[in-house]
Copies of this chain bind each other. A is one copy, B any other.
Amino acid sequence: MVKKRSKNEAKRQQILNAAIQLFTEQGFAATSMELIAKNADVSKQTVYSHFGNKDELFSASIENKCESLHIFDFSLNDLTDPHTTLFNFAKAFTEFITSKEACAVHKICVFESTAYPQVSDLFYRAGPLRLTKEVTLLMEGLHQQKILCIENPKHAALQFLHMMKGELWMQIEFNTKERISSDEVDEYLRDSVAFFIRGYSF
C-alpha cells in the first residue's frame, strides 16, 4: 500500500514563477537552477523533485506562462461601426503585444525555437495562431454582414494583425533608445484602420 503525500502545489508555482522570470530575463543557458531555487525560496533539491531537470523545468515554465497569457479578451460583437471596433481592437492588441510579459516570452520562445521547438510551438499556438484564427472569424463576420468585402478572411486577418505591429513593436523588440510617442502610435493605428477599411470596402 503506497501512501502518497502530494507535493506542495504552492511551491511548485513559486518555482515556476521564479523560473519563467529568470529564463525570460536572462535566457536559458545563463540561468542557473540554484538561482531559481533561491528566488523561489525553496531548496535546490525541491526543484529537482518537482521537475526532473533543467529542460523539463524550462518547458513547464513556458507552458505555464502561455496558459496565463491566454487572457486576451476582446468583445467584438458590435460590428456596425467597424472604424471604432477595429481601432479599439488594434489598441488592445498593441498594448498586449508590447507588454513586458508578452515580449519576454515571445523573445525566449523565438530564441530557443531550434533547441526547443515544442516550447516555441506552445507559444505559437497560444499566441499568434490563436489570435489569427479569432480575427479571421471577425473578418468573416464583417464580410457576411456586408460591412466589408473580404474574399479571403485569413489573409485579411494576417494583414491586419501584422500591420498593427508598426514601429513601436520593432523598437521594443530591439530595445532601441528612442521610442515613438503614444500619440504617434495612435495616429498610426487610426491611419491603418482607415486604410484597412478603404482597402476592403465595397
A residues with a Cβ closer than 8 A to B are 25, 27, 29-30, 107-111, 113-114, 117, 120-121, 123-124, 128, 132, 152, 155-156, 158-159, 162-163, 165-167, 170-171, 173-177, 188, 191-192, 195-196, 198-200
Contact = CB atoms under 8 A, between A and B. Distances in A.
A177 B128 contact: no
Given A110-B111, A111-B108, A152-B191, A163 B174 contact: no
A123 B177 CA distance: 14
A128 B199 contact: no
A interface: dominant SS:
helix
A200 to B, nearest CB: 7
A110 B173 contact: yes
Contact of A128 (B124, B170, B192): B170
Contacts of A120: 174-176
Contacts of A162: 162-163, 165-166
A106 to B, nearest CB: 9
